[in-house]
Amino acid sequence: MLPVTYYIGLSAVLFIMGALGVLIRRNLIVIFMSVELMLNAANLAFVAFARYYQEMSGQVFVFFVMAVAAAEVAVGLSLIVAIYRARRTVNVDDLSEMKG
* Interacting residues toward other proteins by CB under 8 A: 4, 8, 11, 15, 18-19, 22, 28, 31-32, 35, 38-39, 41-43, 45-46, 48-49, 52-53, 55, 57-58, 61, 64-65, 68, 71-72, 75-76, 79-80, 82-83, 86-87, 95, 97-98, 100
**Closest approach of other proteins to the CB of residue 32, in Å:** 7
**Closest approach of other proteins to the CB of residue 62, in Å:** 10
Query: Which pairs with CB-CB distance under 8 Å and at least 24 residues apart come from 47-52?
Result: 47/7, 48/4, 48/7, 48/8, 48/11, 49/4, 49/8, 51/4, 52/4
**Closest approach of other proteins to the CB of residue 1, in Å:** 16
| Total number of residues shown for the chain | 100
Could you tell me which residues are beta bridge partners of residue 36?
none
| Under 8 Å between Cβ of 12 and 35 | no
